[in-house]
Amino acid sequence: MNALISDDGLQCPEPPHATAHRRVNDHSRGEHATAIIYPVVARRSHGLSLGINLFPARKICTYNCPYCEVHPFANEVDDLQAGMVEQALRHFFEHEWPQMASVMPLKDICISGNGEPTCSPVLEDALQACDRVLRELEARDTAWGKVPVVLITNATGFLKPEIKAMLARYAASMRLEIWAKLDGGTQELHGMLSGSAYRFEDIVHGITSFAREHPLTIQTMVCRDSRSGRLLFDLEEYAAVIRHMWAQGAQLTAIQLYTLARPPVESWVEGLEDAAMRQLGRALADQLSDVQISCYGRYQELEMEPAGSPMDSAWQS
């Protein structure tokens, strides 16, 4: 049976048109692994999200996270060129969305895919394409005015002035939400989790500097090293970093704690059970009462433990 893909790797009920969706032979959009756009049922979007993959040919990223769920690959397709995302979006909304619309609403258009979007030379072109297409849809139906474009980034782009300025322009001129990665809470954990030489304090500074002008959401992976059982997240240090960012004027709309949903690149990375995630979310919320914290387990968004619940610190063991 065919199925829409969920971001958890789950099989989700498929609308009848979905087979046709995949059959469309549009080389600019590609098929399956080479798709430029792909509808997914996303935990963190709370529904259907239209993904835009800027890297159909191969994974390109400034990090090398051991928990990454994009395994190295090579497809025999060309890198994206300007205009291809817009062509793919128009094709989708004209030919496929009319059948899909009755199944579930579209929550967002999400630019992420097989790597770090700010590494792509067509990111700005893709943002413009999303903006144009959404404005046209909104002119026909005002409900589209609620659909944002979400850019999921590992935050290294904030360290490049030209990327930071470009994102700031679009954050100010369109419905662009930026979800920025911040893991671990210390230099040591950040180094381990990003597999990079980027300094944690530079990443924190980059996010803070951007978020002074444009609110953003923080995304934080919580996982364990199965070889030692160590939790790769320092709650106290992380909370202190977030408070420091606030003190510096960062506008943090929300924090999303999530754990592994699919097999990681490194087999020693282990996700947390739901009970541990619930407790961890509560413990963080107790430390950071001024920000909305959401918790995502492997399959779904989780209710955090209620305030004042007795806790056995399940996440620590």
Q: Site mask, ligand SF4, residues 151-170, x = CB under 6 A?
A: ---x----------------
Tell me if residue 306 falls in helix, strand or coil: coil
In the region spanning residues 106 to 125, those forming contacts with ligand SF4, defined by CB under 6 A, are 115-116
Q: Provide, rounded to whole angstroms, the least separation between the CB of residue 94 and ligand SF4.
A: 30
Judged by CB under 6 A, does residue 242 bind ligand SF4? no
Which residue, among 282, 118, 114, 288, has the nearest Cα to 218 in the 3D structure? 288
Specify the pairing of strand 176-181 against strand 149-153: parallel
Distances from the Cα of 221 to the Cα of 79, 99, 153, 213, 261, angstroms:
29, 35, 13, 25, 11
Pick the binder of ligand SF4 from 52, 68, 149, 302 (CB under 6 A). 68
The pairing of strands 149-153 and 223-225 is unpaired
CA 238 – CA 220 distance, rounded (Å): 10
Q: Does 258 bind ligand SF4 (CB under 6 A)?
A: no
Kindly state the smallest distance separating residue 265's Cβ from ligand SF4, in Å: 8
Identity at 108, one-letter amino acid code = D
Q: What is the rounded distance in angstroms from the CA atom of residue 118 to the CA atom of residue 123?
A: 6
The span of 10-18, 57-65, 237-245, 277-285 binding ligand SF4 (CB under 6 A) equals 57-65
Q: Helix axis angle, 123-140 relative to 84-91, nearest 10°? A: 30
Q: Minimum Å distance from CB 61 to ligand SF4?
A: 3
Residue 250 three-state SS:
coil
Of 18, 48, 50, 65, the one binding ligand SF4 (CB under 6 A) is: 65
Name the minimum Å distance from CB 260 to ligand SF4: 11
Exactly one of 61, 182, 245, 302 binds ligand SF4 (CB under 6 A); that residue is 61
Verify binding: residue 70, ligand SF4, rule CB under 6 A.
yes
User: Under the rule (CB under 6 A), what is the footprint of ligand SF4?
Assistant: 61, 63-65, 68, 70, 115-116, 154
